[in-house]
Chain A
Amino acid sequence: MSDSNKHAAKEPFVRIAKNGLPSAKRAIGVRAASLLAALILCSIYILIVGRGEVSLGNAFSQMWNGTFGIPGNVRSMRIMMWDTAVYAAKLLCVAVALAPAFKMKFWNIGAEGQIVMGGLATAIIMHDFGSLPKPLMLILMIVVCVICGAVWGVIPAVFKAYWGTNETLFTLMMNYVAMKIMDYFYNMWKGKLSALPTFPKETWLPSLFDHSYGWNIVIFVVLAILMFFYLKKTKQGYEIAVVGDSANTARYAGINVRRVIIRTMAISGAICGLCGGLTVAAQNHSIAYSAEAVHTVTSGYGFTAIIVAWLANFNTLGMILISLLIQFLEKGTGQLGNSFPAFAVGAGNVMIGIVLFCIIGGAFFLNYRLVFRSKKQPKEKVKTEVRDTDA
Chain B
Amino acid sequence: MEQTKPVAIELRNVSKTFGSIKANKNVNLSVYRGEILSLLGENGSGKTTLMNMLSGIYYPDTGEIYIDGKAVSIRSPKDAFDHGIGMIHQHFKLVELFSAVENVALAMDAKEKYNLKAVAAKMQEICERYGFDLDVNQKVYDMTVSQKQTLEIVKVLYRGAEFLILDEPTAVLTPQEAEKLFQVIRNMRADGKSVIIITHKLHEVLSISDRVAILRKGEYIGTVETKDATELSLTEMMVGQKVELNIDRPMPVNPEPRMVIRGLTCKNAEGVTVLDNVSFTVNSGEILGIAGISGCGQKELLEAIAGLQSVEPGGSILYYTPENKKTTELVGKSPRKIRDLGVALSFVPEDRLGMGLVGTMGMTENMMLRYYNEGSSIFTDKKKPRNLALRIKDELEVVTPGVDTPVRALSGGNVQKVLVGREIAASPTVLMTAYAVRGLDINTSYTIYRLLNEQKQAGVAVIYVGEDLDVLLEISDRILVLCAGKMNGIVDARTTTKSEVGLLMTNLNKEAQQHE
Interface residues of A (CB under 8 A from B): 3-4, 7-9, 20-21, 233-239, 241-242, 245-246, 248-249, 251-256
Contacts and interface: CB of A to CB of B under 8 A. Distances in A.
Contacts of B369: 242, 249, 252-253
A245 B358 contact: yes
B512 interface: no
A254 B334 CA distance: 7
A208 B347 CA distance: 56
Contacts of B347: 252
A280 to B, nearest CB: 32
A364 B482 CA distance: 46
A3 B65 CA distance: 14
10 nearest A-B pairs in the assembled complex, by CB-CB distance? A254-B336, A7-B73, A254-B335, A248-B355, A245-B358, A253-B369, A21-B409, A252-B355, A233-B379, A245-B360
Given A242-B361, A246-B359, 14 more contacts: A3-B72, A7-B75, A9-B59, A21-B409, A234-B378, A235-B378, A236-B378, A238-B365, A241-B361, A241-B365, A242-B369, A248-B351, A254-B334, A254-B373
Contact of A252 (B349, B372, B406): B349
16 contacts: A7-B72, A7-B74, A234-B380, A235-B377, A238-B372, A241-B360, A241-B361, A241-B365, A246-B355, A249-B355, A249-B358, A251-B335, A252-B349, A253-B370, A255-B336, A256-B334
Contact of A21 (B308, B358, B379, B405): B405
A7 B335 contact: no
Given A4-B72, A7-B75, A238-B380, A249 B356 contact: yes
Contacts of B377: 235
Interface string B103-135: 000000000000000000000000000000000
B368 A238 contact: yes
Interface in B344-390: 347, 349, 351, 353-361, 365, 368-370, 372-373, 377-380
Contact of A235 (B72, B380, B405): B380
A236 B377 CA distance: 11
Interface string B400-442: 0000011001000000000000000000000000000000000
A253 B335 contact: yes
B306 interface: yes
Chain A binding surface SS class? helix
Contacts of B368: 238
Given A4-B72, A9-B59, A252-B349, A245 B361 contact: yes
Contacts of B468: none
B306 A252 contact: yes
Most B-side CB within 10 Å, residue of A242, A245, A249: A249
Nearest to A253: B369
Contacts of A245: 358-361
A21 B335 contact: no
B79 interface: yes
Contact of A7 (B79, B357, B365): B79
A21 to B, nearest CB: 5
A7 B76 CA distance: 10
Contact of B379 (A234, A242, A249, A253): A234
A252 B302 CA distance: 12
A252 B361 CA distance: 16
B71 interface: yes
A384 B275 CA distance: 57
B358 A246 contact: yes
A251 to B, nearest CB: 6
B339 interface: yes
B308 A251 contact: yes
Nearest to B355: A248
Given A251-B335, A253-B335, A254-B339, A20 B409 contact: yes
A3 B66 CA distance: 13
A382 B251 CA distance: 62
A9 B73 contact: yes
Interface residues of B, number: 38
Given A234-B378, A235-B372, A254-B335, A248 B354 contact: yes
B300 to A, nearest CB: 14
A249 B380 contact: no
A9 B75 contact: yes
Interface in B117-157: none
Most B-side CB within 10 Å, residue of A3, A248, A253: A253
Contact of A249 (B354, B373, B378, B406): B354
A207 B195 CA distance: 82
A325 B360 CA distance: 28
Given A245-B359, A249-B358, A4 B406 contact: no
B369 to A, nearest CB: 5
Nearest to A236: B378
Contacts of A7: 72-75, 79
A234 B372 CA distance: 9
Interface string B70-111: 011111000100000000000000000000000000000000
Contacts of A241: 358, 360-361, 365
Nearest to B370: A253
A252 B405 contact: no
Contact of B308 (A238, A246, A252): A252
A20 to B, nearest CB: 6
A251 B360 CA distance: 17
A309 B357 CA distance: 26
A235 B373 contact: yes
Nearest to A244: B360
Nearest to B334: A254
A390 to B, nearest CB: 20
Nearest to A4: B73
Nearest to A7: B73
Contacts of B359: 245-246
A8 B75 CA distance: 9
Contacts of A237: 380
Contacts of B357: 249
B268 to A, nearest CB: 15
A241 B359 CA distance: 11
Contacts of A253: 335, 369-370
Nearest to A230: B378
B400 to A, nearest CB: 11
A231 to B, nearest CB: 11
A8 B351 CA distance: 39
A241 B349 CA distance: 20
B381 to A, nearest CB: 9
B229 to A, nearest CB: 36
A245 to B, nearest CB: 5
Most B-side CB within 10 Å, residue of A233, A237, A254: A254
A238 to B, nearest CB: 5
A4 B409 contact: no
Contacts of A20: 409
Contacts of B380: 233-235, 237-238
A9 B349 CA distance: 41
A248 B406 CA distance: 18
Nearest to A5: B73
Nearest to A20: B409
A234 B356 CA distance: 21
Given A20-B409, A245-B361, A246-B358, A252 B373 contact: no
B335 A252 contact: yes
B341 to A, nearest CB: 12
A18 to B, nearest CB: 11
Contacts of B361: 241-242, 245
A15 to B, nearest CB: 15
Interface in B154-198: none
